[in-house]
Amino acid sequence: MKKIFSFRIFLLLPAFILLLSAGTEQKNPFPELERYKLKNGLEVIFADYGNLPVTSISFFINVGKKSETPGQQGLSSLTANALGLGSDKYNRIDLGREIFRTGARLSSSSNENFTLLSGEFLNRDIDKGMDILSSVLLHPVFPQQDIDEQRGYEISQNKPSKMDIGDLADEYGNYFAYGIAHPLGRHYYAAQYLKLTNTQIKEFYNFNYTPGNTKLVVSGKTDHAQMKLLIEKYFGAWTAAYGEVNGASYEIPAIKTKEYAFVQKDSSKQACLQWYKKAPAAGSKDVAAFMLANDVFSDHLGKEIREKDGFTYGIYSTFRESQNDEMYRSKTQIRNEVMFATMAAFDKVLNDFYTNGATEVELKKFKTMLKVSINNREEPADVAALINPWVYRDYSKRQQILAEIDAVDIPALNKAIKKYFTPDCYKLIIAGDASLLNDQLTKIPKLQKLEWSVIEKDQ
């Protein structure tokens, strides 16, 4: 169902956040790196950024939804979030107090491809920060009562009958796009989720949370010599119970025709439409041109379907390169009565975009906007996210992304459009109330009607 709530403690003082933003402005968001490895295999990457005495510490762990075997749906997020429920040294209350006392940040979350545990500390508190992080990462206790409470909350809030129509489209759309045999197409459901035990959580943790499966990015204005001593002190003795690198990989299913599916949202006065199409993998030679093409396409959707047709307050095409799930999604919520008309309008925009391509004016505009979005790194943690060594495995190529964007010309942009914006194939998930949409639904060829229980399988 919805993505499981991620553990976060953000307690930096507002005044300090303003100073931090002002003190880290730089033109180059891709600094030169210093790399080395501990004897246990933990790779450490220093990425200096900013002028304030702050250090951001980001542990990128090569585990996520991709690592869940059938019946383990939700286990990667449950494990990541449980890190914040206490360790052998700090229970949940003590952990909150220490973060508050030092005015720091601490968070842990998991997505399709990786888990991120991060902390941000004033340099004067960095020893305490490393102590907290090592305790949370290396010695979690996974308290049964707290985990049960969290799991119960998630189940109660994420029933299909209670979900926001957009979230409903997300979850059943992923099922439709990837298939239930694919880790990104499976979703947790109450009967399965409640069966996950603390023993499973601990085994999942022990197998995947290893030094060889983790990369540490240290960003900010950091004393390298001091940090190296602290990293060795707190993480040098970290060992792996089941091996060093335990990553998982998968292939993305092909989309060869137009396919349609519907999921019921009782009494909804709106319908939600979400289209799925194939996108390039992170780091691909196509990424720069594709990102520009997708931005232009999103603009076309807005101008035609929002502004000209007046069918919606917003329609966007989004691409999440950092999650590396190799899909881009176009999404909107519209009045029930214009659902089918919006589908037809989308097809027209897609066909026109494929046929006519983009203009020089559009290319120039969206080049500027895309470069600004990449350059606009306000904090050291933002730089760590740009570096993410599990998603962007070739940093020398990653450093060239701005140059690659600059190098995209109209022929290259239109080539990407011809490759990724084909009008004859996509998967469309529709969420809404069938009783109010029936006349329009009957016009859709080979429409699959998905019962809520369709995700209650573990293949």
The pLDDT assigned to 22 comes to: 38
447 domain residue, yes or no: yes
| Extended beta strands in 191-242, E state | 214-220
Same domain? For 439 and 297 the reply is yes
246 domain residue, yes or no: no
Question: Residue 68 in contact with residue 75, Cβ under 8 Å?
Answer: yes
Same domain? For 178 and 65 the reply is yes
The residue from 235, 268, 289 where one domain ends is 235
Same domain? For 200 and 263 the reply is no
Same domain? For 214 and 268 the reply is no
Q: C-alpha distances in angstroms, 40 versus 36, 116, 218, 231?
A: 12, 20, 18, 12
Question: Which structural domain range is residue 391 located in?
Answer: 258-455
Letter for the amino acid at 318?
T
Task: Look at the block and give the residue holding tokens 């991060």.
Answer: 118
Same domain? For 418 and 304 the reply is yes
**Start-to-end Cα distance in the chain:** 17
Instruction: Convert the pLDDT of each residue in 78-136 to its tens digit.
Output: 999 999 999 999 998 999 898 998 889 999 999 999 999 999 999 999 999 999 999 99
List 272's β-bridge partners, or say none: 333, 431
340 domain residue, yes or no: yes
Cα(319)–Cα(19) distance, integer angstroms: 31
The pLDDT assigned to 58 comes to: 97
The pLDDT assigned to 9 comes to: 65
The pLDDT assigned to 377 comes to: 83
The pLDDT assigned to 158 comes to: 83
Cα(325)–Cα(116) distance, integer angstroms: 17
In what side-by-side order are the strands of the sheet with 327-335?
315-319, 327-335, 270-278, 426-432, 258-264, 448-450
248 domain residue, yes or no: no
Same domain? For 208 and 312 the reply is no
Same domain? For 264 and 220 the reply is no
Task: Taking the CA atoms of 390, 199, 184 and 301 in sequence, report the sign of the dihedral they define.
Answer: negative
Same domain? For 205 and 270 the reply is no
The pLDDT assigned to 12 comes to: 45
List 58's β-bridge partners, or say none: 118, 217
CATH code for the domain in which residue 353 is found: 3.30.830.10
128 domain residue, yes or no: yes
> Which residue in 337, 341, 294, 336 sits closest to 165, CA to CA?
336
Same domain? For 230 and 274 the reply is no
Q: C-alpha distances in angstroms, 459 versus 70, 183, 405, 455?
A: 6, 9, 41, 10
Structural domains in the chain (count): 2
> Which residue in 29, 103, 18 sits closest to 52, CA to CA?
18
Letter for the amino acid at 286?
D
Cα(281)–Cα(89) distance, integer angstroms: 41
Instruction: Convert the pLDDT of each residue in 327-339 to its tens digit.
Output: 999 999 999 999 9
* Long-range CB contact pairs, 390-399, < 8 A, 24+: 390/60, 390/62, 390/113, 390/114, 390/215, 391/113, 391/114, 391/282, 391/283, 391/321, 391/322, 391/323, 391/324, 392/282, 392/283, 393/283, 394/283, 395/30, 395/33, 397/283, 398/30, 398/283, 399/30
Estimate the crossing angle of helix 126-138 against helix 224-235, to 10 degrees: 30
Q: C-alpha distances in angstroms, 349 versus 107, 226, 305, 411, 434?
A: 41, 56, 9, 20, 26
169 domain residue, yes or no: yes
397 domain residue, yes or no: yes
The residue from 203, 235, 267 where one domain ends is 235
User: Can you list the residues of the chain whose pLDDT is less than 50?
Assistant: 3, 5, 11-26
Same domain? For 416 and 385 the reply is yes
Tokens of 381: 């943690």
For 4-20, what is the HEC assignment? CCCEEEECCCHHHHHHH
The pLDDT assigned to 287 comes to: 96
Same domain? For 43 and 127 the reply is yes
> Which residue in 147, 39, 160, 52 sits closest to 455, CA to CA?
160
Instruction: Convert the pLDDT of each residue in 393-403 to its tens digit.
Output: 999 999 999 99
Burial (CB < 10 A; 0-12, 13-18, 19+), residue 146, is: middle
250 domain residue, yes or no: no
Same domain? For 193 and 330 the reply is no
